[in-house]
Structure 1
């Protein structure tokens, strides 16, 4: 005789997993904001910029942003080989080191 499935327990496990994934996503987005230096913007400025980005239909702009983001992550991965200026999570320990090299926060 087969053991009946406990659908309630399976559903709870899936809900817990979804909650954990959402929490991890929120944490990673926050770390991205800090790593790019966008945490220097006010919440209103950051929200406004993100809304404009999300509403943009111009594929040329989106491709340019994607290339710039990929370059950011490639450059960042090379810098993470120097553990002396980063804490255990890979976040810079010096607050002014999170600023973009160009000095402009919204130069997109």
Structure 2
């Protein structure tokens, strides 16, 4: 009985040794917009921005610094260019602005029409 318990413990310890390694997520390289894509993106971005005015539930996010504005614009571009999914867009947005789930969902669906 002691031998079985000892053998089971040893086997269990070998499994935990194998499962403790960290897996690094692959690095993803995003492409920046070309001038022609930038023009089309800006038009789409304006349309989404204008559509927020018609929604009483949409609350403007505090993008009160150039860095925050650039972060949001880049995030929207990645979504628009289909370099990230809607869910990834919403998830990344909620990491910085956790109280704006409705707004990120609204924008995500606005670009995917």
TM-score normalised over the length of structure 1: 0.24
Tell me which of the two structures has the higher relative contact order, counting C-alpha pairs closer than 8 angstroms and 6 or more residues apart.
1
Larger Rg: 2
